[in-house]
Chains A and B, each alone.
Chain A
Amino acid sequence: MSILESVGKVFNLSLIYATFRASTPLIYAALCAAITQQANILNIGTEGIMLVGAFSAVAVSYFTGSWILGVLVAMCMGALISMIMAVGHIKYNSEICAIGMGINLFAIAITKFLLQTIFNTNGVFASPDIVPIPRIHIGIFDKIGVLNSLFNDWCFTEWFVIIFIFLLQFVFYKTVWGLRLRAVGQLPQAAQTAGIKVNKIKYQAMLISGMIGGLAGAHLSLGYSAQFVENMTNSRGFMGVAAMYFGGANPILTSIGCLLFGFSDSVGARLQAYGYPAQFVLMMPYIVTVIVLAVSMYIKLSSSKKRQSSLVNN
């Protein structure tokens, strides 16, 4: 009986929104990685781009009192950071993992430095002057209990991410630019022969990826919370990259992967109330991510092997 009761407390209607809420930053991060992956660039710097975005969003929102400006500046800063990576990787042949990790370390260090010099604090910067991204309250839903608990008071960027997933899906698979992007990723030589400017497409992909990453950071610091914490991304960028692998850089499948990680995160957060050690709860999303990633890659590999062997038999 008591077990059933507690299961009911963990798995109830509000878990759906909790899952979505925890997943949204991951989805943005994963989409940031997906767009460059389509051009065959592994964007390990997602984490760093997000962190810089998160910081600039909070800083701009604090000084100007406008969350729109904060989000826009965060997107620009994300684009700037990703362009550093793009120039290093495309023009100067940097190994993408190496420069990506460099960017991540740089982001942690520079945000810490700026936190100390601009705001004179260590660790956490929170202030009532930070204007968060508004939550959308739909009056009609108030009376309908289910809809109220499910859909009311979502953050603006949480609604936007749903549109954005389908937008990217459309861009990747239904537009000329998307076709070119995927062509560049799959076989650059062939793309070049077909008259596509490979490097131009790669730069464009990195630029857009940087803007999405900046948005991811802005959502994390202004939508998900209303503060900046040192290293607040906390490997979310890497989880996004893992989800991207899970979904094979397909926006919809990738987002499903993110929901899975978000689900384990929010279930874990509820289990903590039932006396499970905090560390086990905290490490759960990471373990789930690794296992899901391994299983999905295993399935992908064995299905491609099957396809190859059937080709030989035919």
Chain B
Amino acid sequence: MKKSIQGIIKILLILILSLSVGAIFILAIGENPLVAYTALIKGAFGTKLGLGTTIAGFTPLLLTSIAFAVAAQAGAFNVGVEGEVILGGITAAYIGINWGFLPVPALYIACFLGAMIVAGLWAFIPAYLRAYYNVSEVCVTILMNTVALYIGSYLVSGPMSAGTANPQSDPVLVTLPKIMKPSAANVGLFIAIIIVVLVVFMIYKTKWGYKIRAVGQNPFNADYVGISSKKVFINAMILSGMLGGIAGCIEVLGVHGYYLDNFAKDLGTNGMLSALIVRSDMLFTPFIAFFIAVLKSGAMAMQQSTNVPKSIVDTVSAVFIIIATMEFVIEFRKRSKLNKMAKGGNK
């Protein structure tokens, strides 16, 4: 318990630090950081539309951040969540448009299952290459993101095109009901929460999850005690891909109602960002994901009401990660404690 409180204090300290770095940038372009940050908070929570947009943005981030964190538990650095979201989305769109012969509840399930299978298979490729041929999964997943983007873009402007000027598909037959009109927030939020709770439970309370964590901490030790580290690694990556696929499915069925080219822009990156800030601690990751969603949805309002461009938000969150990956805050606290002990000993 004490450890988690320390963790929270650390995150808050870094938050203040990175917000002040952002404030310096805002001051440098001659604006008032307090006004800008207030506008941001107001934009994210002030109106029903703002709050709904925040929640709609939070839903996929929750899944993508947990997707990254699950892979990280097994020691993988899965930058490919974005590609998995894209392929999950296009699969859900394909099934949602063409499989009208299924009764409605089965069609929902088919969409989600299809998205999970395709995205899981996509994640299997880098996982297999890493586990058996030691190919850097960071490199492969990043390059495969671009490939996935072009696959989606090709399908939606070619075979699956609705014939509109914008590259998008026909509307899907089933959609997830909206919960806060006129915003895009939808029932997907509850699906995401249930899935994330299940995944966190699986990782921390089941034998299967224990294996993943064991492999992440020390693959050689895991092999030694009879856990096949390669298979577990691949399993974790597939699970991570499936979570990305679900995020894509929810975006297509819930937010848009059709497949829109480039709909997954930054979803994977921001999820990765949320997980990296807390070093893929699965209990804290959802809260950071929410915080990032607030920043993103408030940024637009900030840009409209002040002269601060919304890219400042991305800068602040990048600084947040850079500082958060370093261990100096903990070290500093330890050192001050040691100093105290040393002083106490002298007395």
Contacts and interface: CB of A to CB of B under 8 A. Distances in A.
Interface of A: 42, 44, 84, 88, 92-95, 97-99, 101-103, 105-106, 108-110, 112-113, 116-117, 235, 238-239, 241-242, 245, 277, 279-280, 282-283, 286-287, 289-290, 293-294, 297-298, 301
Contact of A242 (B25, B143, B279): B143
B321 A101 contact: yes
Contact of B136 (A42, A95, A99, A112): A42
Contacts of B315: 106, 109-110, 113
A163 B269 CA distance: 37
Interface in B288-314: 309, 311-312, 314
A103 B133 contact: no
Contacts of B136: 42, 241-242, 245, 293
Given A109-B314, A245-B139, A294-B133, A103 B153 contact: no
A245 B133 CA distance: 12
A238 to B, nearest CB: 5
Given A102-B322, A235-B142, A279-B153, 8 more contacts: A92-B327, A92-B328, A105-B317, A105-B321, A245-B135, A279-B151, A280-B150, A301-B134
B276 interface: yes
A84 B140 CA distance: 25
B325 A293 contact: no
Nearest to B270: A105
A106 B318 contact: yes
B304 to A, nearest CB: 14
Nearest to A94: B325
A118 B252 CA distance: 37
B162 interface: no
Closest 3 CB pairs of A and B: A109-B314, A106-B318, A92-B326
Contacts of B150: 279-280, 282-283
A106 B21 CA distance: 12
Nearest to A103: B322
A97 B138 contact: yes
Given A92-B326, A113-B311, A105 B318 contact: yes
Contacts of B79: 101
Interface of B: 25, 29, 77, 79, 129, 133-136, 138-140, 142-144, 146-147, 150-151, 153-154, 157-158, 269, 272-273, 276, 279, 309, 311-312, 314-315, 317-319, 321-322, 325-328, 331
Chain A facing B: main interface SS? helix
A105 B143 contact: no
A99 B277 CA distance: 10
Nearest to A95: B325
Contacts of A242: 136, 139, 143
20 contacts: A94-B327, A99-B322, A99-B326, A102-B318, A105-B314, A105-B317, A109-B311, A109-B318, A113-B311, A242-B139, A245-B135, A245-B139, A279-B157, A283-B146, A283-B150, A286-B143, A286-B146, A293-B135, A294-B129, A297-B135
A279 B322 contact: no
A280 to B, nearest CB: 7
B158 A277 contact: yes
B139 A293 contact: yes
Contacts of A283: 146-147, 150-151
Nearest to B280: A98
A285 to B, nearest CB: 9
A236 to B, nearest CB: 11
A103 B153 CA distance: 28
Nearest to B157: A279
A44 B272 CA distance: 15
A101 B129 contact: no
Nearest to A293: B135
A280 B144 CA distance: 13
A228 to B, nearest CB: 14
B143 A279 contact: no
B153 to A, nearest CB: 5
A279 B154 contact: yes
B143 A117 contact: no
B140 A290 contact: yes
Contacts of A95: 325
A74 to B, nearest CB: 20
Given A101-B79, A113-B309, A113-B311, A289 B322 contact: no
A286 B135 CA distance: 15
A301 B132 CA distance: 9
Contact of A235 (B25, B143, B272, B327): B143
A294 B135 contact: yes
A271 B133 CA distance: 32
Contacts of A286: 143-144, 146-147
B135 A113 contact: no
Given A239-B143, A242-B143, A279-B153, A108 B314 contact: yes
Contacts of A99: 321-322, 325-326
Given A97-B77, A97-B138, A301 B276 contact: no
